[in-house]
A = this chain, B = another copy of it.
Amino acid sequence: MADPAQKSSDEPLIEPACAVFRRFLKQQGLKFTSERAKILNAVLSKSSVFEADQLLTEMRDVGHSVSRPTIYRTLKHLRHANIIRQVLIDAKQSHYQLSIGQDPQSYLVCIDTNEIFAVAAPEIDEFTRKICSDHGFEPVSHRLIMYGVSPKSQAAEDDESSGNEVLR
């Protein structure tokens, strides 16, 4: 967490991310439009994992009108700019996570409620490096997803088993 000037751990570096994105776009010959700015801001406001459609709904609720295609196109650019990453927790649709501030890359998923919690698991890093080198791989990134029963669901365990599809 070596930041150039100041380290606010609550506000997730809004200015830098915007600068990173603008630099990336310019370098690719792409344009920084108001839609892209609004989507980036919406993304920066997410503290945990989010879905494309969720983003669209929330932006429209706030009065920002963006089309679904533009959301997807911008998410793709944000991925290539290494500002967000895809998470793949659910087979139904993609999830995304901000990756520019901190990058947990580890997730706890409750198999009852489908809630997703990003958690820190720094020890995993060295293990993945070791495994990669054992197999001759050059490590790039990794993702650890753990499925289990959240404390809340353990408490409500005697209720009807909450008709949710169990994902494993």
Contacts and interface: CB of A to CB of B under 8 A. Distances in A.
A144 to B, nearest CB: 5
B149 A131 contact: no
A131 B146 contact: yes
A132 B151 CA distance: 10
Interface residues of A, number: 41
A80 to B, nearest CB: 8
Contacts of A90: 88
A146 to B, nearest CB: 4
Contact of A108 (B121, B132, B148): B132
Nearest to A128: B146
Contacts of A141: 146-148, 168
A4 interface: no
Contacts of A148: 132, 137-141
